[in-house]
Structure 1
Amino acid sequence: MERHDEIKKGAWIGIFGNAFLASLKVLIGIITGSYAILADGIDTSTDIFTSVVILLSTRISEKPPDETHPYGHGKAETIASKIISFVMFYAGVSLLVESFKRLITGGVVLELSPLAFLVVGISLIGKTFLFLYKLSLGRRLSSPATISDALNMRNDILISGTVLAGMLAMKSFGWWLDSLLAIFVSILILKTSFSVFYEAAYELMDGLRKSDMDIYNDIFNTLMRFPEVHNPHRVRVRKVGAKHYIEMDIEVDGKMTVKDAHDLTVKIREEVMKKRDDIEDITIHVEPLGNIEREGFGVKRETTRR
């Protein structure tokens, strides 16, 4: 199964799974009058929308490069992650405001039946399965949108666990604990929304996380195997979806012919791409040895051989 087909399959599993869990929790939240359960249900319902966003972004990202998008459409998944963060933020703020209102007005009677405990327990099990499945899928396919969705699921596990613990303690402390739990749930939602937003913004600005910086070591280690190459500099890597695009400058003997220099860059490109399967393209600019104009940002490593 191709990468995009697997992401679509994961999105559909998320849609049906979250639709089932959200319906249960919203219904029980309304019946029992528990804002904590209702908040959990509303948060789960937003996950349906995020899965739909992932489906749409996957359809866009699988389009090949064209005249207006020479680097392809891979960042559609990153944009989807940012949209997911906005949805989560809105849900978190809405729940926070309503929970504070309820805490201030007071006078709430809750009926936490065994069915309510059962629904929250089912939610815990269901969300744990979805989190592990989507996290594994997202990491294996390097899908930022799927990973963002999985992180949202992880928060849902904590939210449902908090609601369950609160329901057990509510009979001893009173109705106000339900509103406090709803406030805590909304804060968790907001925290996750900021985290997802930051990760998406980082990639949209062509940044690499520290965990991805090992690609530079792979590049320089490969270059060391070519004695003709000196002073690789302005080495820059950008990530587009699951793939990386690399640009670099190298120095060679000024007497080398254009054909030999071209053949050298072809060999370097093949060796680097052989080492990693997440590289889409490499652009190499050749300069004469001893060139001192190395302005501009990027990673460099002095490797002049004497």
Structure 2
Amino acid sequence: MEKRFKESQRVAVMGIAGNLILSIIKITAGTTYKSQALIADGANSIGDIINSAITYLGNKVASQPRDSDHNYGHGKAEAVATQVIGLMLCFIAFEVFSNSLSVFTSKASEIQFSLNMIAISVFAIVTKIFMYLYSINIGRKHSNPLVLANAADHIADVFVTLGSISGIIFTHLGIWWMDPVIGMIISIWILIQGIGISRNAIRILMDSSIDAKILNNLKETIAIIPGVEDVQKVTTHSMGIGYSVEVRIGVNCTLTVAEGHNIASRVKSKLINTAEIGDVIVHINPVSDVDCDYKCLKENTADCKKNNK
């Protein structure tokens, strides 16, 4: 858990530093050369700074241990932070679209072509690809939705900046209206990313179940544990960091409470060591190949055990 936290925080710090530099360069260049697409790209980078700061705070809260008020820990803080990032991106998309539409309708694009803008955009693309590769590796390694959201944002920025370059080139060729149009396309891309990130966060906050394939693997794992005669039900819900698993198994009705408890402990120990599982609750129900007669169990337990073996 500590390694997960430290590596995720490094992603956030890298995002804050990298996007701060990129936003200053893009907005300065966009303002100087009157490129709406590059200004839009810079505005997106400002949003990325906020997103990285939210990632930092979200990871910090999520790493806190369980307490009396949070019996399942603080893991869902990551999902809350992820949702904030998604909403922020949607807001930025609206602002960028509005500004680009204003330029388009007023026919006021006065972009000045410069190789400096192309160089800045290429630098931004290379930087963002590096940030994406680093973030996606950490996010997948620790199944961290917040870091994965940052990675998705980084790769989106690569295409956004490619759009900026296209706008600059088209305007230089005399097609002035392509610059604000590409600005609007960028805004739509940002909106799509924001909606996707928000949907993933909502799934976690709404206690979504674990992947069906993993769930089937859990059932198969439980079924082969000695003493388990029937896997009756396995349900899961997200804890933000990992999943809580509730298991209902059937054991021989003639077992003692201690024997049933030992089987339940084996089930829990087996599952708790499985990736993505943070908590396990095991319920035991009596089952047998033959009917367990209550009177037999009460008056002649030894014989009943013998008949049911």
2:212 match: 213
TM-score (normalised: structure 2): 0.89
Q: How large is the RMSD of aligned CA atoms in angstroms? A: 1.6
Task: Spell out the pairing of 1:40-55 with structure 2 (5 A cutoff).
Answer: 40-55=41-56
1:282 paired with 2:277, answer: no
Structure 1 stretch displaced more, 232-241 or 280-289: 232-241
Listed one character per residue, the Cα deviations across residues 195-226 of structure 1 (whole Å, up to 9, x for unaligned) are 001111011111136xx333212221222213
Listed one character per residue, the Cα deviations across residues 219-245 of structure 1 (whole Å, up to 9, x for unaligned) are 212222135323323311122233221
Structure 1 stretch displaced more, 157-166 or 259-268: 157-166
2:4 match: 3
Amino acid at match of 1:287: N
1:223 match: 222
Deviation at 1:86, TM superposition (A): 0.8
Output the CA distance in 2 between the equivalents of 1:226 and 1:10: 40
Percent identity, please: 25
Listed one character per residue, the Cα deviations across residues 94-144 of structure 1 (whole Å, up to 9, x for unaligned) are 111111111111133211211111111111111111111111111111111
Output the CA distance in 2 between the equivalents of 1:233 and 1:193: 40
Amino acid at match of 1:89: C
SS at structure 1 position matched to 2:267:
helix
Structure 1 stretch displaced more, 135-144 or 162-171: 162-171
Structure 1: state its 5+ residue gaps.
Answer: 291-305
Larger Rg: 2
1:236 match: 235
Amino acid at match of 2:286: P
2:14 match: 13
TM-score (normalised: structure 1): 0.90
Deviation at 1:273, TM superposition (A): 2.8
SS at structure 1 position matched to 2:173:
helix
Q: For the Cα contact (< 8 Å) 1:141–1:242, is it kept in 2?
A: no
Amino acid at match of 1:91: I
Listed one character per residue, the Cα deviations across residues 130-161 of structure 1 (whole Å, up to 9, x for unaligned) are 11111111111111111001101111001111
Output the CA distance in 2 between the equivalents of 1:173 and 1:236: 61
Q: For the Cα contact (< 8 Å) 2:136–2:147, is it kept in 1?
A: yes
Structure 2: state its 5+ residue gaps.
Answer: 289-308
State the aligned residue count: 288
SS at structure 2 position matched to 1:145:
helix
1:248 paired with 2:255, answer: no
Task: Spell out the pairing of 1:24-43 with structure 2 (5 A cutoff).
Answer: 24-43=25-44
Output the CA distance in 1 between the equivalents of 2:24 and 2:109: 23
Output the CA distance in 2 between the equivalents of 1:208 and 1:162: 38
